[in-house]
Structure 1
């Protein structure tokens, strides 16, 4: 079964890091992603730009409404994701526990629905 691991990170935690610590953290994300790929379970991964670059789209009463920024005020924002193949939820949770985002944010794990 495929699962998505979604990192939610407090952007201030990253911006408050010393440059060396930030670089080390980014390297941990690369190492985490590489380890998933080398183990053969990685099906996709992407890092997102910060939430303040988002545009939210809503359709209301026939009108398209655009809002700059994320759809809600949050302390943590969606920062990226990994799609992994795992035998079960417990295995996917073990992968998520190894994600650096779990150290200063959170990693949400959800099973993916097969389309088609």
Structure 2
């Protein structure tokens, strides 16, 4: 089953961060991805630019409203994510415990529409 590990942190633009801080963070993520590879866990992931670079679409009376910035003001923002393949939630949590954490990680199963449709047909 696929799970998304959503990594939250204080909003930060890494472009202006000191080189040593960037390298330390990269080393943590390299070690984590080497752990995933060593376990044979299929994964993908990306870091996100700061929330100030976001564009948000919301339904409005005249159609979709497009605004600059995040939808809500928060102290923590989604800074990056990994999508992993895990046996079950316990396995996903075990993997997430090794992921570099800023302020928190949300672990959420990914809805596999093909599996849901197949289960509905078999019911």
TM-score normalised by the shorter chain: which range applies? Answer: 0.7 to 0.9
58-67 vs 105-114, greater mean Cα deviation: 58-67
TM-score (norm 2): 0.78
Distance 2:30 2:11 in 1: 18
How far 1:70 moved relative to its partner? 0.9
**Aligned residues of 2:36 and 2:43 also touching (Cα < 8 A):** no
Distance 1:79 1:72 in 2: 15
Unaligned runs of at least 5 residues, structure 2 = 115-123
Residue aligning to 2:39: 39
Distance 1:81 1:8 in 2: 9
Unaligned runs of at least 5 residues, structure 1 = none
**Aligned residues of 1:3 and 1:85 also touching (Cα < 8 A):** yes
**Aligned residues of 1:54 and 1:68 also touching (Cα < 8 A):** yes
User: Quick check: which has more Rg, 1 or 2?
Assistant: 2
SS at match of 2:40: coil
TM-score (norm 1): 0.82
